[in-house]
Amino acid sequence: MAKGWEMHMASSSIYGTASKRSLIGSILVEKGYITEEQLKEALEYQEKSGGRLGWILASLGYIRRIDLYRALAEHFNLPFLLGTEKILMQINAEFIKGFEVQELIRYEVIPANLDKYTNTVKLFVSNPGSIELDEFINRHFSGYKTELVVITDLDLIKTLEYIYKDLLIDKAIKGLFYLSPEYSASLVFSKMQVLFMGFVLFSVLIGLYINAVFTLITIIGIAQVFYLLSIGFKLVVSIAGAKSEMEQFITEEEVKALKDDELPVYTILVPVY
């Protein structure tokens, strides 16, 4: 069988957690990328917190992401391609637009092109041998020959972001409006608020027409009152908060008793630029 070419067959996930020593761990140890001790530590993390073994090893700094995916490609006898520019050069834009980006992200696959003469579809994948990949191929390309090329997960995401950039931006901006318009910033004011502001603006215009000086003095006076009330409110809240502030000491035993799966999950927004 030629390298990189295969008829699609079912296979188990390389990231499965059923076995204490997963396939990916065995591959990396055999190829000398990690040691037995490092694999054991990563498996302990996986058993405690979940997650993919390969990602855990990379997070611990025991293996580079490139080496991880290169090892996978070598194990499955598949070509490995690095760099979004090289990947994009091999993708048929019209062909890939027939797939939902959410599905491609979920199954970690990029359908590059379909050769109708050889009945072969080329797929860039970051999780070769997985059950999810089997499901995707059976759903869309049953009966076709598949040419699989391994890429890193970062290259997969960057490539999809480039191809579906306009769609993703539109969904990010207008997604909440389509889902719940009443909670969206697209609908800033309610009808009653618009009517009230219109009434206030109309009253100000009438006042300026009748007595401009008195109207301006009144507007400035009202603004000053609101400003003073705002400062006073913040001062009261700050004093009340400082008064009730207290320190709570946590013992080392209490920290050790915490379980990761029982801790709350937070989303942290990091400003990039």
Encode pLDDT of 217-233 as tens digits. 999 999 999 999 999 99
Which residues make Cβ contacts (< 8 Å) with residue 125, sequence separation at least 6? 108, 109, 110, 133, 148, 149, 150, 151
Residues of the chain by 3-state class (helix, strand, coil), percent to 5? 60, 10, 35
* Nearest alpha-carbon partner for 76 in 20, 6, 133, 134: 6
Q: For the domain 84-163, what is the CATH superfamily, name and number?
A: Type II secretion system, protein E, N-terminal domain (3.30.300.160)
Output the DSSP codes for 141-186.
-TTSEEEEEE--HHHHHHHHHHHTHHHHHHHHHHHHHHH-GGGSTT
For residues 27 and 168, the model is more confident at 27
Q: How far is CA 268 from CA 55, 265, 271, in A?
A: 20, 10, 10
Q: Give me the chain's average pLDDT, please.
A: 81
- H helix or E strand, kind and range, residue 5: strand 5-7
Complete DSSP assignment for 105-124:
HHHTEEEEEEETTTTEEEEE
pLDDT digits over 50-93, tens only? 778 888 888 888 888 888 899 889 888 999 999 989 999 999 98
Residue 13 has what pLDDT? 41
* Strand 120-125 with 109-115, pairing: antiparallel
Helix and strand tally (H, E) in the chain? Answer: 13, 4
Q: How many residues does the chain have?
A: 273
112 CB burial (10 A radius; 0-12, 13-18, 19+) = buried
- 125: helix, strand or coil: strand
Task: Provide the residue ranges of all domains of the chain, joining segments of one domain with +.
Answer: 5-75, 84-163, 189-273
Cα atoms in the 13 Å half-sphere on the side-chain side of 90: 18
